[in-house]
């Protein structure tokens, strides 16, 4: 009685594992791409999975401020078709852990027409998102800028003192907060796009006959 070659079995198992890993990776990449295509879906995706270093929302600042400091860098990007200049006022700040800090981003619309956008965000390293608390933010909010209009967008945040107890972040001295504004088709733009479209009017045959009879009379 013959027995299967152990080497062939291992090769077959390895190829099977590679295929499964590739399918899982493709599925995850597809979900990320789909989420990016829709800002509300991306927000839900981040909150459920923690992807992108989902931050915390705080109503009050912590009572404890540590002597230890940390650097926070700010990054800004825009999606295709938005036509905005979008950037942080300060590229980096250094603050004490637990200290409440306000910074700002600025956006200007260089298009010759109004433009509406909504911002997504991410934090790196992702594990730091659990300790990055925002008290004021402009993410996931539709913002419309008129032609040439400039707007300052504040961000108020603090780093939770509990971060010093996170073993996975013990060597982290810098956190990066990044925003990306994506173009949103506002209802007004949709209405304008269809303003010149032909209007079809359906006429009731009975009403049309009644009009003819009135004209004859």
Write the pLDDT tens digit of every residue in 41-76: 444 444 443 444 456 666 677 779 999 999 999 999
Whether 25 maps to a domain, the answer reads: yes
Residues 94 and 122 in one domain: yes
Please give the Cα distance from 131 to 213 (Å, whole number): 79
pLDDT (tens digit, 9 = 90+) per residue, 172-204? 999 999 999 999 986 654 445 444 444 333 334
Q: Which structural domain range is residue 40 located in?
A: 14-51
| C-beta of residue 104 within 8 angstroms of C-beta of residue 74 | no
Provide the token pair at 34. Answer: 């789909």
Residues 42 and 92 in one domain: no
Residues 26 and 59 in one domain: no
Nearest to 100 by CA among 69, 127, 75, 135: 135
Residues 132 and 41 in one domain: no
pLDDT (tens digit, 9 = 90+) per residue, 93-103? 999 999 999 99
Please give the Cα distance from 176 to 156 (Å, whole number): 15
**pTM for the model:** 0.63
Dihedral (C-alpha) 52, 54, 134, 150: value to the nearest 10 degrees? 40
Whether 170 maps to a domain, the answer reads: yes
Domain count, the chain: 2
Please give the Cα distance from 114 to 11 (Å, whole number): 59
Residues 37 and 93 in one domain: no
Provide the token pair at 146. Answer: 């008129």
């Amino acid at each position: 009685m013959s027995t299967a070659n152990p080497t062939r079995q291992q090769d077959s198992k390895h190829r099977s594992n590679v295929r499964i890993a590739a399918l899982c990776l493709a599925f995850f990449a597809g979900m990320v791409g789909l989420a990016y295509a829709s800002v509300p879906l991306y927000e839900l995706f981040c909150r459920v999975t923690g992807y992108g270093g989902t931050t915390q929302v705080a109503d009050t600042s912590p009572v404890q401020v540590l002597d230890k400091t940390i650097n926070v860098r700010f990054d800004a990007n825009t999606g295709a078709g938005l036509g905005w200049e979008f950037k942080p006022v300060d590229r980096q700040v250094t603050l004490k852990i637990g200290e409440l800090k306000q910074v700002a981003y600025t956006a200007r619309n260089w298009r010759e027409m109004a433009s509406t956008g909504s911002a997504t965000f991410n934090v790196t390293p992702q594990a730091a998102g659990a300790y990055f608390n925002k008290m004021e933010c402009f993410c996931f909010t539709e913002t419309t800028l008129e032609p040439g209009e400039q707007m300052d967008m504040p961000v108020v945040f603090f780093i939770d003192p509990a971060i010093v107890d996170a073993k996975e972040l013990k060597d982290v001295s810098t956190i990066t907060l990044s925003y990306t504004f994506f173009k949103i088709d506002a209802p007004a733009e949709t209405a304008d796009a269809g303003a010149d479209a032909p209007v079809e009017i359906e006429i009731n045959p009975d009403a049309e006959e009644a009009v003819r009879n009135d004209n004859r009379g």
